[in-house]
Amino acid sequence: MTATRSRQPKRVYIETQGCQMNVYDSGQMLEILMETEGYLPADRPEEADLLVLNTCSVREKAFDKALSRLGRWRLLKADNPHLRIAVGGCVASQEGTMLLARAPFVDVVFGPQTLQRLPALLGEREMSGRAQVDVRFPAIEKFDALPAPRRTGPCAFVSIMEGCSKYCSFCIVPYTRGEEANRPFADVLAEVWTLAESGVREITFLGQNVNAYQSDWKGIRRDLADLIHYTAAIDSIQRIRFTTSHPIELGDRLMDAFREEPKLAPHLHLPVQSGSDRILAAMKRGYTALEYRSKVRRLREARADLALTTDLIVGFPGETDRDFEDTFGLVRDLGFDQSFLFLYSPRPGTPAASLPDPVPDPIRQERFNRLKALLDQQALEFSRARVGRRVSVLVERTGEPDPSALSGREGTNHWVHFAGPPDLLGMMVEVEVTQGLPNSMKGRRTGIESLRPVSHDRTQRPSL
C-alpha cells in the first residue's frame, strides 16, 4: 500500500482569495510545483498531499477569513499527518511568523515575492522538521525563477511588474507586495512570443500599476505603450489588454496607443476611488476630479467606443454628504461601465487607519446602495446600447452539457453568449448582439470568423 502510494504523483490543491494578481500567482505556484516536484492539481482538498492558501488582505477580516479556511484544513491534517499546508499571498506577507502562532499546524509561510521558493521551503520543512517562513521582497528573483508559461486557452496574462510605490493612504498593497519592480522588456516580449507561438490570441499585461512600467532595452527606455506596439506587431495576436492603471501615469503615449492601435481592446480599468477633491487628497491619490475627467475626455477623443470601468471607495473617514454627491455626480457624468465598489475598511498599518471621523455604518451603507444601483443601471444601459451591433468575440468557452453554447468576451470586456460549433473555440468570431443583460449579452453569429491557423503567422520573432 505504502509502495503504491509513493509511486503516485503528489497532488496539490490551491485555493485563491482576492484579485487577479493572486489568480495569476496561483497559476505560477502550480506551474512551479508541477515542473520542479512533479505535482498534479487536485480537484478537492481531500485528495491533496499539499494544500496552498493564497490569501488577500485588501478587504476587511482577511486574517479571519484565512484562519477559518485553515481551521478546516487542520481537520484534514489530523487525519493525514503527511499532509502539508502552505500559506502565501498578502495575509502571509503581513503576518509572517505571527501566522504560525495562530495556526501552528501550517508548514510553510511565503509572500507574493517568494512564491518561486515554495518547493525549496517545502524541502527545508522536511529536512528540519520545522515550519519555514520567507516573506521577503526579492521581486526580480521571482521573475527570473518562474517557469516558462504553459498555454491554457486563447487568452493569457503576462505579469510585467510587481508591487506598488503609490502608497495611497488606505491601501495595504505596497506593504504586502513591496515597491514597484519592473520585469525586463526583452523577457516580457520573449514570453509574449512563446504564448503567441503556442496559439494564444489575447494578451493581458498584468500588474498593480501597469502604466508605470519602464525598462531599458537596446539602450532605449521602454514603457507600456512600447510593449503594446511590439505585441500588436505579432500577426497571430489579435487583442491586447492591460490592467490595472493609475490615473497619474496615464500619459500621452498610452492615450495615443488607443488611437493608433486597433488591436488594443476598447476597455480601460482606471480606478478613481472618489469624485471629491478633499477625499482624493486625503487618500493621497495625486490628482483632482477635474484632472481625472480631463484624461477621460482625451481618452474618448482617442477611442470613441471606449468602455471605462473603475474602482470606488465609499465611507472613507471624514466623507461628507457633499463629498459623496461629488462622487455620485462623477460616476453619472462619466458613465462608468461594470465597476468595483468597496466600502472603506481600515487596514491596520496604513495611514488612513488612524484617521478620525469614521462614517457611521447606516450612512455609508446607504451611500453604497445608492451608488451600486447607479453603477448597475449604467452597466445595463451600456449592455443594451450594444444591441444590434456587430462585435468581435474571442471564443473562450464551450458549454456544458451543450458544447454548442459558446461564450467569449468582446473588446469592451463584456461576456457574450451565442450558439456555434465547438471548433470555434479560440477563434475570433463576429457576433451580432441581440440582448443586453446586466452582466453579459446574448448574440447571433454572423458567419464571419478568423480561421487563419496560427502556424501561418507571417511575423518573425525579433532578436531579443
How many Å apart are CA 196 and CA 428, to the nearest integer? 15
Q: Which span (94-102, 145-153, 159-167, 419-427) binds ligand F3S, by CB under 6 A?
A: 159-167
Binding letters toward ligand SAM, positions 193-232, x by CB under 6 A: ---------------xx-----------------------
Work out the number of other CB atoms within 10 angstroms of the CB of residue 169.
18
**Interhelix angle 289-302/252-260, nearest 10 degrees:** 30
In terms of CB distance, is 9 or 349 closer to ligand F3S? Answer: 349
Q: Which span (75-83, 110-118, 164-172, 316-324) binds ligand F3S, by CB under 6 A?
A: 164-172
**Cβ at position 439, least distance to ligand SAM in Å:** 19
Q: Which span (168-176, 233-241, 355-363, 408-416) binds ligand SAM, by CB under 6 A?
A: 168-176
Binding letters toward ligand SAM, positions 49-88, x by CB under 6 A: ---------x------------------------------
Q: Which span (75-83, 167-175, 228-236, 294-302) binds ligand SAM, by CB under 6 A?
A: 167-175
Under the binding rule (CB under 6 A), the answer on residue 109 touching ligand SAM is: no
The end-to-end CA distance of the chain, in Å, is 51
User: How would you classify the pairing of strands 11-16 and 40-41?
Assistant: parallel
Q: Which one of ligand F3S, ligand SAM, none is in contact with 383 (Cβ closer than 5 to 8 A by kind)? A: none
Locus of grid cell 468581435 = 392
**Cβ at position 172, least distance to ligand SAM in Å:** 6
**Cβ at position 368, least distance to ligand F3S in Å:** 18
How many Å apart are CA 287 and CA 95, to the nearest integer? 32
310 within 8 A of 271, measured Cβ to Cβ: yes
Q: What contacts 127, CB < 8 A, 6 or more positions away?
A: none
Counting every residue, how long is the chain?
Answer: 464
Locus of grid cell 481600515 = 346
Backbone angles phi, psi at 182, to 5 degrees: -95, 145
**Cβ at position 211, least distance to ligand SAM in Å:** 10
Q: Which one of ligand F3S, ligand SAM, none is in contact with 193 (Cβ closer than 5 to 8 A by kind)? A: none
Report the Cα 203 to chain-centroid distance in Å: 13
Under the binding rule (CB under 6 A), the answer on residue 246 touching ligand F3S is: yes
141 within 8 A of 112, measured Cβ to Cβ: no
Which residues of this protein are in contact with ligand F3S, per CB under 6 A? 164, 166-168, 171, 173-174, 208-209, 246
